[in-house]
Amino acid sequence: MKIYIDGRYYDEKNAKISVFDHGLLYGDGVFEGIRAYNGRVFKLKEHVDRLFYSAKAILLTLPLTHAEISRAVVETCRRNKIKDGYIRLVVTRGKGTLGLNPNKCERPSIIIIADKIQLYPPEYYERGLDIVTVPTTRNLHSALNPAIKSLNYLNNILAKIEANNAGCEEAIMLNAEGYVAECTGDNLFIIKDGRMSTPPLAAGALYGITRGTVMDLARAAGIEVSEPNLTRYDVFNADECFVTGTGAEVVPVVKVDGRVIGSGKPGSITRNLVKAYHALTNSTGEPIYA
Ligand code: PXG
């Protein structure tokens, strides 16, 4: 594997950053998780856009332009002969002192890893997930805005641990007001009476690229889409429920906190969205091999 760090490519065993990097010391940095399908990087522009938005929010000036970062992502895929894969694009504040002042950091570092994709077990998609609401609430946007894809994922990791302790793969995270925010690494959707809804960004949802894609696909199929505040009651009484994320794609949810959702089987609108999503991922994106 060839890993990109600040303009150079290294073998995995030589791909190293300083122990004084503030990405490690403080979680000071931002990242993106991107997929490649069929020799193309899916939604590359949207991911690089979001990286710039996250960086701006934490006052981190990226050392490369949008075009340069996009080219580096594609080139890293090419050097690793990726056809289908998972790309991790990371920007750290860089090497600094032991103090937390980011102004003491020399310059931000950019790391790109392009690896084989670890697919989720097929039964998740066929049977659907059984998920729970966890006690850890999503970060307050007045404290650490959940829209920022920062290197500090402890909020989500604590929720993931709580889900795993309850025997579940995913968790619903509420915000401090008790409204549904999102899952630990995925956005949440419900279908009720043929209409689709998902929590608004202000409720603590990440501006998910898959979320946006699925909303576009639903609208193109004539499904009404809205972003109201949702409570657990809305989720329990939905006809269908699913989660979306770059890694998971679109996964049906059939049980929430012991309540069976709809028929208890993946719903028809969800299944159609899964198909439409696959068709899109396999036919669009930034070509890796010209
Ligand atoms: N919410 C959160 C908190 C996320 O981290 C999503 C939603 C979905 O967004 P996209 O843009 O992917 O549709 C994410 C993204 C993983 C993994 O390995 C996934 C994310 C972050 C870190 C790791 O599954 N997700």
Q: Judge if 181 and 96 occupy the same domain.
A: no
- The DSSP-derived string for 34-75 is EEEETTEETTHHHHHHHHHHHHHHTT---SS-HHHHHHHHHH
Residues 90 and 155 in one domain: no
Residue closest to 22 by CA, chosen among 90, 98, 110, 89: 98
Shared domain check, 53 and 183: no
* Chain-centre distance for alpha carbon 188: 12
- 172 domain residue, yes or no: yes
- Quick check: CB of 32 below 6 Å from ligand 1? no
Which one of 86, 115, 144 terminates a domain? 115
pTM of the model: 0.97
Domain extent, residue 75, equals 2-115
CA distances from 113 to 80, 117, 185, 279 (A): 9, 12, 19, 26
Q: How far apart are the first and last CA of the chain?
A: 21
Looking at the structure, tell me whether residues 268 and 207 fall in a common domain: yes
Chain segment 104-121, per-residue pLDDT in tens: 999 999 999 999 988 889
* Cβ atoms of 18 and 180 closer than 8 Å: no
Mutate to test the pocket of ligand 1, among 32, 169, 187, 213 (most ligand atoms within 8 A of CB): 187
Whichever domain contains 261, its CATH number is: 3.20.10.10
Domain boundary, last residue among 115, 145, 162: 115
**Residue 149 is a catalytic residue:** yes
Residues 64, 138 share a domain: no
Written as tens digits, the pLDDT of the chain (290 aa) is 999 999 999 999 999 999 999 999 999 999 999 999 999 999 999 999 999 999 999 999 999 999 999 999 999 999 999 999 999 999 999 999 999 999 999 999 999 999 998 888 999 999 999 999 999 999 999 999 999 999 999 999 999 999 999 999 999 999 999 999 999 999 999 999 999 999 999 999 999 999 999 999 999 999 999 999 999 999 999 999 999 999 999 999 999 999 999 999 999 999 999 999 999 999 999 999 98
- 149-159 pLDDT per residue, tens: 999 999 999 99
Number of domains in the chain: 2
How far is 132 from 170, CA to CA, in rounded Å?
Answer: 7
Q: Atom 18, ligand 1: which residue's CA is nearest?
A: 247
Residue 210 CA, closest ligand 1 atom number: 13
E strand or H helix that includes residue 280: helix 268-281
